[in-house]
Amino acid sequence: MNFSKEQFIEWTTTGYPFKFNEIVTKEMFFLGLGDFINQSENGFVAATEDHEVNVYDDIFGLVMTVNHSDERINLLTDINSNNNILPDSEEFLEKQQCLGDVCVGVITFCQCMEEYFIQGKTTKKEVIKLASKIKEVSEPWPLQS
């Protein structure tokens, strides 16, 4: 899955355009995203709650909440809201990297769901089969430090 710097900026600020359908429902998407995060070798933990996923890091706590509105997957964070951290500090840079890693992982998941399920490159039967084997089909997050 590839995307440009401009696409990354657009999707992280305005949301990733995504329409659900009879094959990919909100419930399936968010359960799948939670499984993707939890079963990938990434250092993050996901908690799925009512059509949203909260992504946690063991150092920084809650990194991001992912939800859906206005036909967009939204990447919400307040990771930079702590004004006690200087922008040039190592802690700030680590938080930026952490947030970037989560954003890339969520966007990659969205692209996979879109390509394989929404564009009709697979059937509902194959979706169920893949969902039952998510650990086998999910790869580690694209960015590892």
Is 32 within a domain? yes
The residue type at 56? Y
**Which tokens is 41 given?**
């070798």
pLDDT of residue 140: 45
Cβ count within 10 A of residue 143:
14
Q: Are 65 and 47 in contact (CB under 8 A)?
A: no
Q: Which domain holds residue 80?
A: 5-135
pLDDT of residue 135: 40
Is 115 within a domain? yes
Is 145 within a domain? no
pLDDT of residue 136: 43
Please count the structural domains in the chain: 1
Is 143 within a domain? no
Is 142 within a domain? no
Is 13 within a domain? yes
Is 52 within a domain? yes
pLDDT of residue 21: 84
**Which tokens is 117 given?**
């399920």
Is 29 within a domain? yes
pLDDT of residue 124: 58
pLDDT of residue 145: 40
Tens digit of pLDDT at every position of the chain (145 positions):
578 899 999 999 999 999 988 878 899 899 999 988 988 877 899 999 989 999 999 888 899 999 999 999 999 987 655 556 666 788 878 888 888 889 988 998 888 888 777 666 656 566 555 554 444 434 444 444 4
Residues in contact with 137: Cβ distance below 8 Å, sequence separation at least 6, in sequence order: 130
Instruction: Find, among 68, 65, 57, 141, the residue nearest to 105 by Cα.
Output: 141
How many CA atoms lie less than 13 Å away from 92 in the CB half-sphere? 10
Report the alpha-carbon distance of residue 93 to residue 86 in Å, rounded.
10
Q: What is the Cα 142 distance to its own chain's centre?
A: 11
Q: Which residue has the tokens 């992504």?
A: 55
pLDDT of residue 129: 54
